[in-house]
Structures are given as structure tokens and as C-alpha cells.
Amino acid sequence: MRPRRGYDRPPEEPRTRINEAIRVPQVRLIGADGEQIGVKDRDDALEFAWNQNLDLVEVAADARPPVCRVMDYSKYKYEQEQKAKLARKHQNVIVIKEIKLRPKVGVHDYETKKGHVVRFLKNHDKVKVTIMFRGREMTHPEKGRELLLRLAADLKEIAVIESEPLQDGRNMVMMLAPSKQLLKEDAAEAAAKDADGAPEAGGEASPADGATPAAAADEARTADGDAPASEVEVPTAEAEAPTAEAEEPATTS
């Protein structure tokens, strides 16, 4: 029997069960300090946690019996949110832009498109440069390759060729990425700006104007947290954004 319309929703993600939400008769109990206490009745495990003014949290629902740990769930949830915030802060999201050219592009159009590529690269985006062939232009693919290599040579100070020109049907594609020199210069410039905005030695850092005491406390707690930002291992996330075509109409002289 098919479900009624509107009821075929995707299943919700499982939520962490704590305290009375744990319904199983027995659990494998772990103490607040990580000690293995063993298999206990659910009610005995709850009483054990409550006697320490802590929560009973299910950490492995698929185990038999489920594994539960005694902890301060509010503190644990806060720490997890802080770790997720640090992870998002250190992620490198790579955006791929696209620029399209014709083999017989005019000088003005070429300079305009090159300006777009420069802007994308300085924004630390990768750029997919596509040469579009039409009709008999397909018989001279070397012209498209020469144009792509000319663009790469013009931008050699800020760009590196990540993917050499390749024929893709009626198009030829080359991928450019920001050069290490560009990334290094931008990082040095950002560090210099941070140094200029830092408080002088011996001075007392005060919260920004308009900052609430709670926000200042959160910043202090983040700074004194368990794991410094340099110790948080975050895999590089590569997200390919929809390509943005920066085509502009050719101007006639």
C-alpha cells in the first residue's frame, strides 16, 4: 500500500537519547571518568548518574546492550558545537568559476575576460577557461590551445595551470588555480592587518563596542578551550560551486 501524499517524508536523523528517553531494559554503563562499570539495569544506571548530578547519555545505540555514559550533557553539547565551529572556520571551500572564449576573440574582449580571471584568482577561486569552437573552427584546435597558453603566460604571476588544455567535444578546457605566491602574499597581508588591529603590549584587551558580556565570555572560553585551533585536524573540503559564466557581449569599434 502506497503512503498518502505528503506522508512520504525522508526519515529523520536519529537523535541522542538521554535519561528517561532511554527505553531499553539494560545498558552497558561507562562512568564519568571513562571507567567500565558493566551491564546495569536502566533504572540503576539512571540512579547512578543522578547521584552524581549528571546525565545518562546513550553513546552507542546499535550495541547490544546499548552503551551509555555518565556525563554533563549540556557541557558536552556545548563543546561539540565549539569544535564544529572551529572545523567550519578552518575549512577551505574551493569555488570553480568559468570563463568562455572564442578562438577568434578580439583584443578588447580578451582583456575583459582576462580581467575576470584575475578577479577570480585573487578571490582564491579556481577558473575553468573554455574555448568554444564552431563550424570549421574545429579543424584548427591548435588556435584554441595557443590562446589558452597565452592566457596562462599572461597570468603566470598569480596563476598556475592545474589542468593542461584538453579537447572536450567541441570545446577545449584548461583549469587555472591561484599560485602559491599569490596565496602567500594574501596570507602575509591578512597577518599584517591582524597585527595592526591587535592591542599594544602591556595594554588590556577590551571587548568590542556593543559586544555583550555573554559574547565576551564565549570568546574567552573559546580561547581557553581544550583544543587550540592549531591542533584541530580538519580535512580540506572541496565544494564545486555552480560555474559562473562571465560572458560579455563583444564591442564593435
- 100 shares a domain with 77: no
Q: What is the pLDDT of residue 114?
A: 94
Query: What CATH number corresponds to the domain at position 166?
Result: 3.30.110.10
Q: What is the pLDDT of residue 14?
A: 54
Contact 43, 56 (CB under 8 A): no
Q: Can you give the residue range of the structural domain that contains 124?
A: 96-181
- 57 shares a domain with 101: no
- 208: pLDDT strictly greater than 50: no
Among 30-34, 74-78, 126-130, 188-192, the minimum mean pLDDT is found in 188-192
- Last residue of some domain: 163, 181, 199? 181
118: cell is 584575475
Residue 72, domain member (yes or no): yes
The whole-model pTM stands at 0.46
User: Which of these, 163, 165, 162, 151, lies nearest to 118 by C-alpha position?
Assistant: 151
- Last residue of some domain: 64, 86, 108? 86
Q: What is the pLDDT of residue 235?
A: 40
Among 123-127, 197-201, 242-246, the minimum mean pLDDT is found in 242-246
- 107 shares a domain with 35: no
Percentage, residues of the chain above pLDDT 90: 43
Number of domains in the chain: 2
Mean pLDDT computed over 215-239: 41
Q: What is the pLDDT of residue 196?
A: 72
- Last residue of some domain: 86, 120, 136? 86
Contact 72, 54 (CB under 8 A): yes
Whether residue 66 has a cis bond before it, omega within 30° of 0: no
Q: What is the pLDDT of residue 94?
A: 80
Q: What is the largest CA-CA distance in the chain?
A: 87
- 243: pLDDT strictly greater than 90: no
- Structure confidence at residue 158 as a pLDDT band (50, 70, 90): very high
- 104 shares a domain with 76: no
Average pLDDT, the chain: 77
pLDDT digits (tens, 9 = 90+) for 83-142: 888 888 777 778 899 999 999 999 999 999 999 999 999 998 999 999 999 988 888 999
pLDDT digits (tens, 9 = 90+) for 1-59: 455 555 555 555 457 888 988 989 999 999 988 889 899 999 999 999 999 999 999 98
Chain length of the chain: 253
- 65 shares a domain with 109: no
Residue 108: strand, helix, or coil:
helix
Query: What CATH number corresponds to the domain at position 57?
Result: 3.10.20.80
